[in-house]
């Protein structure tokens, strides 16, 4: 139950065993075409999609570096560890970050973003962390923000690393110009691939950039090779096999059904832990449905809870980072997760906190989780 890398279904693992093929031949071209097509359906985009061999940070770099000239202002939302990292990274691309902040556990508001766009009319892009993995916060104003950016000369770049494929994000409908994610979160693949979707508006900006600052992440080169059906550099072929299988499974389940499953599972964790006396870090209206950050009971260091749960129940949680260090643990609800995993998780939290001296209301917690899970249409068919 880590907030990435997540459980990879056996079907996806087995797909990686297919024999390696040359990445300049017709077999690869066919595989790549099908996989791209399926992944675009998950992105809900008819625009271009680039698959990179890198972690999500590489894709973020690719998206922003290609549109940033030295000295360009980039507005960036900062409300946790990963968005802080992103605002730091922007400086490496020659950009000047203009921070729109919120307390950890909270989301920046649309009014703040609107003001920033008005106050910085020359800003090249707005880099928006849709789901802050370190605090379990989803910034819910993305659709409104997309409309706003569509009406201004500014690109909307969305870091959707820990959410795409697990919660609603129709890239074209919501006017997202550059949408970034990675393979090892809600796309339920092993880590190693990352993605950038590119809108027409983004291509225009990329074509008029002053200097190219990277060869490996040069989007124009990817575009050129994409037209032939290939990648400019050797791709991680085994991981493309995995992605082919995983995106196939995602489309089999259906995007709406999938997002609903994630939401119900996450709410079962929030409701279950709340009923037993624990709280979430995130404000209620911004709670993420792909990662739940739960506060450790007062006086108990969160790593003790995680270690106990790992050794006794074999379940791995994410730890705490930055300014909430020691205070929260994070439960990933990504990809291949259903009622059995959630009930085991809630039960393990109850037992471990009890063993460490907290007095959880165990019965209430389990009942609340079970009741929430009853909203799931049917048992998840994982295989």
Sites of contact with a copy of itself (CB under 8 A): 2, 4-8, 13, 16-17, 20-25, 53-58, 61, 65, 88-89, 91-94, 182, 184, 190-192, 212-218, 232-239, 316, 318-319
Asked if the bond preceding 109 is cis, omega within 30° of 0, the reply is no
Strand partners, 274: none
Residue labelled with tokens 């079962």? 268
d(CA 54, CA 262): 26
User: Which C-beta is closer to a copy of itself: that of 318 or that of 360?
Assistant: 318
Q: How many CA atoms lie within 13 A of 1 on its CB side?
A: 32
User: Which C-beta is closer to a copy of itself: that of 262 or that of 330?
Assistant: 330
CB of 244 to a copy of itself, least distance (A): 15
CB of 92 to a copy of itself, least distance (A): 4
CB of 232 to a copy of itself, least distance (A): 8
Asked if the bond preceding 5 is cis, omega within 30° of 0, the reply is yes
- Closest to 371 (Cα-Cα) out of 363, 381, 360, 361: 363
d(CA 302, CA 296): 5
CB of 108 to a copy of itself, least distance (A): 22
∠ Cα 276 107 324 (to 5°): 55
CB of 128 to a copy of itself, least distance (A): 18
- Closest to 80 (Cα-Cα) out of 185, 3, 5, 146: 3
CB of 43 to a copy of itself, least distance (A): 20
User: Which C-beta is closer to a copy of itself: that of 56 or that of 166?
Assistant: 56
CB of 237 to a copy of itself, least distance (A): 6
CB of 73 to a copy of itself, least distance (A): 18
Enter the tokens of residue 240: 């493309």
Task: Decide if 315 contacts 348 (C-beta within 8 A).
Answer: yes
- The pair phi, psi for residue 316, each rounded to 5°, is -100, 125
User: Which C-beta is closer to a copy of itself: that of 38 or that of 320?
Assistant: 320
User: Which C-beta is closer to a copy of itself: that of 55 or that of 112?
Assistant: 55
User: Which C-beta is closer to a copy of itself: that of 92 or that of 207?
Assistant: 92
User: Which C-beta is closer to a copy of itself: that of 80 or that of 192?
Assistant: 192
- 3-state class (DSSP) for residue 244: helix
Task: Decide if 217 contacts 61 (C-beta within 8 A).
Answer: yes
Helix orientation angle between 339-355 and 302-313, rounded to the nearest 10 degrees = 120
User: Which C-beta is closer to a copy of itself: that of 91 or that of 115?
Assistant: 91
Annotate 59-88 with DSSP letters as a single string: HHHHHHHTT--TT-EEEEEESSHHHHHHHH
Task: Decide if 53 contacts 81 (C-beta within 8 A).
Answer: no
């Amino acid at each position: 139950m880590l907030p990435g890398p997540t459980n990879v279904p056996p079907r996806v693992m087995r797909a990686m065993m297919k024999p390696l093929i040359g990445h300049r031949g017709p077999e690869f071209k066919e595989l790549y075409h099908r996989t791209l097509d399926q992944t675009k359906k998950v992105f809900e985009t008819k625009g271009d999609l680039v698959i990179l061999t890198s972690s999500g940070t590489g894709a973020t770099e690719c998206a922003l570096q290609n549109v940033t000239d030295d000295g360009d202002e980039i507005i960036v939302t900062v409300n946790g560890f990963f968005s802080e990292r992103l605002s730091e990274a922007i400086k490496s691309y020659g950009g000047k970050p203009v921070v729109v902040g919120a307390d950890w556990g909270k989301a920046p508001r649309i009014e703040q973003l609107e003001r920033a766009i008005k106050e910085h009319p020359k800003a090249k892009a707005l880099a928006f962390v849709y789901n802050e993995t370190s605090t379990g916060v989803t910034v819910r104003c993305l659709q409104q923000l997309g409309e706003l950016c569509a009406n201004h000369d500014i690109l909307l770049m969305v870091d959707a690393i820990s959410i795409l494929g697990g919660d609603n994000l129709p890239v074209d409908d919501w006017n997202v110009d550059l949408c970034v994610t990675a393979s090892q979160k809600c796309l339920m693949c092993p880590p190693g691939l990352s993605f950038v979707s590119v809108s027409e508006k983004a291509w225009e900006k990329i074509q008029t950039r002053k200097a190219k600052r990277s060869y490996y992440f040069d989007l124009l080169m990817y575009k050129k090779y994409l037209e032939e059906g290939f990648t400019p550099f050797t791709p991680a072929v085994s991981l493309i096999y995995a992605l082919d299988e995983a995106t196939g499974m995602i489309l089999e389940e259906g995007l709406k059904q999938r997002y609903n499953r994630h939401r119900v599972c996450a709410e079962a964790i929030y409701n279950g832990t709340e009923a037993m006396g624990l709280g979430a870090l995130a404000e209620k209206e911004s709670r993420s449905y792909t990662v739940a950050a739960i506060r450790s009971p007062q006086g108990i260091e969160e790593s003790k809870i995680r270690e106990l749960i790992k050794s006794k129940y074999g379940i791995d949680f994410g730890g705490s980072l930055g300014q909430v260090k020691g205070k929260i643990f994070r439960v990933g609800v990504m990809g291949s997760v259903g009622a059995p995993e959630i009930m085991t998780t809630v039960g393990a939290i109850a037992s471990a906190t009890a063993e460490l001296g907290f007095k959880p209301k165990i019965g209430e917690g389990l009942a609340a989780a079970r009741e929430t899970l009853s909203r799931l249409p049917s048992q998840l068919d994982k295989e």
